[in-house]
Amino acid sequence: MSGKLNYFLGLLSGIALMIIAWVAFMPFVSSIQMQMPTRSTAPATAVAVEMDTDAIVQKINQIHQIIDTNFLGEFDLNHAIEMMFAGFVEGAGDPYTIYMDAATFRSFREETEGSFIGIGVSITVDPTDNRILVISPFEGSPAFEAGMLPGDKIIRINGYEVFGDGVNEAIRMMRGEAGTEVVVTVYRESDSTTFDLPITRAVIEVETVRSNILDNNIGYIRISQFDRVTYDQFVSAYNRLMDENIGGLILDLRNNPGGLLDVVNRITDMLVPEGIITYTEDVHGRRVYVPSDERQIEIPLIVLVNGNSASASEVLSGAVLDTGVGELLGTTTFGKGLVQNVFTLRDGSAVKVTVARYFTPSGISIHGEGITPTHYVEMPVELTNNLMRLSIEEDIQLLEAMSLMNELIER
């Protein structure tokens, strides 16, 4: 047996022993979908799992010897070990619970901070076919400029077929040095076409908030996702509009895939009255409540949502709906009501684990269901997919929101 394999088998044994004793790691940062609050209502309990580590090590050794002796091609042991860890975590059967090697985790941290090198696209795994689903390209990103749309499925990268259970590898393939090209093959279900998109990687400085003043002094803020930079960007836009004495605010969360829970909570706290923004409940039934203070928006509020408004977007939408501080307009949201924590490992890798469900203030779990807006306004798929490229005159939902806002202002 090679020295390298001995090292990794020893490492595996150590990991298995840690699972038996269960070492609790402190969460470093959330997934793009949601961050779990750090305070808890009850102490963590130890979990004991019986595992025959010797049998596992022997089996891996046997498999390696078979491959080493008989395999016709090149065998990358480092890659195989990483895939083994990924496969172990995949055994949870949850598309949001994943293993990230050190490189993937570094990229993940960069992305949630609002700056990274890549093509600029938010993705998830479609559980129905295990394909990589585009939630939304970032506005102005290389993926956006190349024509990638929400709902596209990434099926190949540089000619290599990719699937949801290999999403970490897919992310790594789309990352690289700024100025280099990657060819992403997408399947567009809306017109049943498959085509290549050559995309030049770039430094992505994510501008998550955009704002302006519409007709009749209506304020408009669009949040594309909830990253670390989003709160400051929102406060700046919100205060500027309020200084202009707008008569009402339209907050656009369409095609927003979510983000960090602490960020969306701080933004929601600025809008809703004193009470509960959301609460989470873990596998042990322990609840963590997120309170809001007495500060709230004092002008009419409309939140725009659609089927691509997910997770953190649904926290804000649910709080606005339940507290009655504003109206929701659009179509039913995505329905992701799960919270992930990221647990860092000693070698720089990490495991992102679904640890809780979140609930709206009235106690509704929207996972798998979504939130139905108070004003249901559909829009053709081709317009929804090109949302960021539409003029106001083409945006059916925004026009309806403006019409409704005029009525609310006149009351």
User: CA 302, CA 321: separation in Å to the nearest integer?
Assistant: 10
User: CA 137, CA 142: separation in Å to the nearest integer?
Assistant: 9
Candidates 313, 322, 349, 352; catalytic one: 322
User: CA 261, CA 16: separation in Å to the nearest integer?
Assistant: 32
**Tokens 């997120």 -> residue:** 290
**Tokens 């019986």 -> residue:** 50
Candidates 336, 349, 352, 395; catalytic one: 336
Q: Which two tokens stand for residue 209?
A: 């908030």
CB 385 within 8 A of CB 190: yes
3-state secondary structure the chain: CCHHHHHHHHHHHHHHHHHHHCCCCCECCCCCCCCCCCCCCCCCCCCCCCCCHHHHHHHHHHHHHHHHHHCCCCCCHHHHHHHHHHHHHHCCCCCCCEEECHHHHHHHHHHHHCEEEECCEEEEEECCCCEEEEEEECCCCHHHHHCCCCCCEEEEECCEECCHHHHHHHHHHHCCCCCCEEEEEEEECCCCEEEEEEEECEEEECCCEEEEEEHHHEEEEEECCECCCHHHHHHHHHHHHHHCCCCEEEEECCCCCCECHHHHHHHHHCCCCCEEEEEEEECCCCEEEEEECCCCCCCCEEEEECCCCCCHHHHHHHHHHHHCCCEEEECCCCCCCEEEEEEECCCCCEEEEEEEEEECCCCCCCCCCCCCCCEECCCCHHHHHCHHHCCHHHCHHHHHHHHHHHHHHHC
The verdict on whether 336 is a catalytic residue reads: yes
The verdict on whether 68 is a catalytic residue reads: no
Candidates 30, 31, 311, 313; catalytic one: 311
CB 306 within 8 A of CB 384: yes
**Tokens 């990991």 -> residue:** 15
CB 245 within 8 A of CB 296: no
The verdict on whether 311 is a catalytic residue reads: yes
Please give the positions annotated as active site: 311, 322, 336
